[in-house]
């Protein structure tokens, strides 16, 4: 079963059962957060900077009372649930909704020049066997290169939510001084990939887009 086949995009609230203890972003799950004791640090030394910058440092720890029980995930955004079998998935930290305790967060450093042109060299990834949820505002798609036989898959980089470790991309940027000075977004042409999850939104930055670009210029 391919990674793409093990990926489900949920548009409505769904029941999540049979999970290992889970770390979740409570705000998107509708959990009451009245008591501060509900929070804990998941893997406190993992991806510290990314988690702080993405506002996802604190996660709620969920544990099933019994194996037969399930948990209703009430959605605000669409969520792509990816089931990993000892695989690695790269993702954007601000889109992380939940992940099972058996998975391990980490940060890799990609210093290839084309990638550095428009993205941070530090990429969050999750490794192991278990389920991970990726938030997709305004919907999204889970694609692989095999299903795109006619034309190569193209995704605007800010909309790239998660991708498998075997992904190979070519980056295209629009020429011109204004595009360069304003850090116009690049487009990723997917040459090969087992899974590319793209969102229909660009991360919900909205009016923060320009300040975020300026910040990215200061801190790549």
Partner 1 sequence: MATENSAGPAATIRARPRRWVRWILAPAAAICLFSLLFPYAALMVAALVIAVGVIAASVGVVVVMRRFVDTNSCEGSVFREWRPSKRAGAWIALRVLAQWAPFGALSIILWWGNGWIIDQAIYLIQSAIVEWCGSIEPESAQLSWTGEWMLRCVFPDVLVDTVKSASSGLSWGMRVLMVLPFIITVLIEIERWLSLALLLWLTVRSLGYFLVRMVVAEQRPKTEVFFDRGNEPRQGVA
Q: What is the DSSP letter of 218?
A: H
Binding partner 1 (rule: CB under 8 A), the pick from 13, 115, 120, 205 is 115
141 near partner 1 (CB under 8 A): no
| The token pair that represents 172 in the structure block | 């295209």
The secondary structure element, H or E, covering residue 125 is strand 122-136
The span of 61-69, 129-137, 147-155, 207-215 binding partner 1 (CB under 8 A) equals 61-69
Spatial separation of the C-alpha atoms in residues 217 and 17, rounded to whole Å: 42
Q: Which is nearer to partner 1, 64 or 148 (CB)?
A: 64
| The token pair that represents 105 in the structure block | 């967060």
139 near partner 1 (CB under 8 A): no
Phi and psi angles of residue 48, each rounded to the nearest 5 degrees, phi first: -55, -55
Binding partner 1 (rule: CB under 8 A), the pick from 8, 18, 40, 147 is 40
Applying the rule CB under 8 A, the residues between 119 and 138 that interact with partner 1 are 123
| The token pair that represents 196 in the structure block | 């590319």
Spatial separation of the C-alpha atoms in residues 173 and 160, rounded to whole Å: 15
Q: Summarize as ranges the residues that interact with partner 1 (CB under 8 A).
A: 29-32, 35-41, 44, 60-66, 69-72, 90, 108-117, 123, 163, 165-175, 177, 180-181, 186, 189, 191-192, 217-218, 220
């Amino acid at each position: 079963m391919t990674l793409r086949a093990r990926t489900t995009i949920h548009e409505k609230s769904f029941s999540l059962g049979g999970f290992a203890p889970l770390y979740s972003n409570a705000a998107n799950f509708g959990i009451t957060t009245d008591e501060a004791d509900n929070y804990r640090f998941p893997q406190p030394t993992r991806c510290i900077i990314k988690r702080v910058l993405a506002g996802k440092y604190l996660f709620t720890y969920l544990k099933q009372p019994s194996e037969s029980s399930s948990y209703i995930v009430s959605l605000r955004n669409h969520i792509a649930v990816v089931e990993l079998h000892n695989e690695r998935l790269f993702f954007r930290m601000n889109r992380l909704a939940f992940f099972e305790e058996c998975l391990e967060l980490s940060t890799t450093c990609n210093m290839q020049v084309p990638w550095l042109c428009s993205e941070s060299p530090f990429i969050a990834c999750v490794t192991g066997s278990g389920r991970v949820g990726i938030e997709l505002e305004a919907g999204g798609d889970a694609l692989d290169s095999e299903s795109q036989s006619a034309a190569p898959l193209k995704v605007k980089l800010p909309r790239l939510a998660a991708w498998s470790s075997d992904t190979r991309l070519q980056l295209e940027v629009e020429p011109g001084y204004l595009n360069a000075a304003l850090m116009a977004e690049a487009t990723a042409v997917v040459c090969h990939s087992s899974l590319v999850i793209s969102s229909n939104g660009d991360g919900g930055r909205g009016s923060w887009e320009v300040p975020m670009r300026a910040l990215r210029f200061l801190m790549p």
